[in-house]
Structure 1
């Protein structure tokens, strides 16, 4: 489903690229999704993929029992736990992720709220094939607590960015962005909620654009 702005929404975003026709793909990409928390972006991907343009073949979580895994279990979708606490370093975690995604034969990997930094081990296994969603208008406010950074800086415009993952954190090629105004009196909770509603719109589009770039 295309990620269009909703002019009836008081917090309507400005999306870039501007609303467009959904990319026409000649092949259906198989997706592997990584999540750590409630799984609202995972749910947005599930709903979008119901249109048939892609399939989600595996969800991997690092927090067993998290909301994302519960959603997958309710939907009868393949899911797996890669608990970072059981690994000695980030590279070991990433090797476990590679094993899981290779076994599921996924084409692209989507970091849909994965709250861990990935290493060149994973990035090298899926070059130009890992998409991340970040709650700021990159390159501003990279790293952790982007919403808090934006509020502390006093900006009047925030938003979210879907981008390809590179070895430099939050610095890969931008695929789609959505700008969200910061209202007077906003706190982390209120601004995060409005940004997340736009993340749900742009992430599926970004994945489709990434697939199109690869010739799908």
Structure 2
């Protein structure tokens, strides 16, 4: 199962996926390409470390979504990789219908809350400020509704009285780093070539 990773930041979740691949914990999945929407994304440095091509793709002109020529450039570049799965690992852009249609039921996203609670930006901060006792992370299929696609799996994280936003963030990230590679491996075992 050919996997393409999209990200925007330092790439800790992409690194967790690539470590799982190196340690033969990614099932039948293989990461074949990394794309970042920022030229300074730490995610890009992972390519050389793990022997996977990694490139910046210009997302201009919008800051929070892919649209127009940039969207078409992303679709063309990803299609050229012949992906069976597109993984959004900290990709901070809203995807619209042309992109979603191009890779329908093949795009998954990792969100730092137990959806449907706390969708959108700052899921960890939302949960912390609300005072809930349990939060976590969710892997779901991507649809037009932001953070609203079918849920594949979740991992719960208990919020202790002693937690700060920083300590909770670290706990949620640790859960993410376990959950996302596990989900990819599980999807790869159910994957049939040519689907």
What TM-score do the two structures reach when normalised by structure 1? 0.80
- What is residue 37 of structure 1 aligned with on the other side? 9
Give the conservation status (yes or no) of the 8 Å contact 2:18–2:50.
Answer: no
CA distance in 2, matches of 1:209, 1:81: 29
Cα 1:212/1:166, change in 2 over 3 Å: farther
CA distance in 2, matches of 1:94, 1:181: 38
CA distance in 2, matches of 1:172, 1:205: 19
Residue 126 of structure 1 and its aligned partner are, at CA, apart by 0.7
Unpaired segments of 5 or more residues in structure 2? none
- What is residue 84 of structure 1 aligned with on the other side? 59
CA distance in 2, matches of 1:137, 1:215: 29
Unpaired segments of 5 or more residues in structure 1? 1-28
Give the conservation status (yes or no) of the 8 Å contact 1:32–1:108.
Answer: yes
Cα 1:66/1:192, change in 2 over 3 Å: same
What's the C-alpha RMSD, in Å, of the aligned pairs? 1.9
CA distance in 2, matches of 1:147, 1:87: 25
Give the conservation status (yes or no) of the 8 Å contact 1:36–1:63.
Answer: yes
What TM-score do the two structures reach when normalised by structure 2? 0.89
Give the conservation status (yes or no) of the 8 Å contact 2:29–2:188.
Answer: no
Question: CA deviation digits over 1:70-126, x for unaligned, max 9?
Answer: 111333321121222356962233322211111111111000111111111111111
Q: In the alignment, which of 139, 154, 171 is matched to residue 162 of structure 1?
A: 139
Once the two structures are overlaid, the 10-residue window that deviates more, 112-121 or 83-92, is 83-92
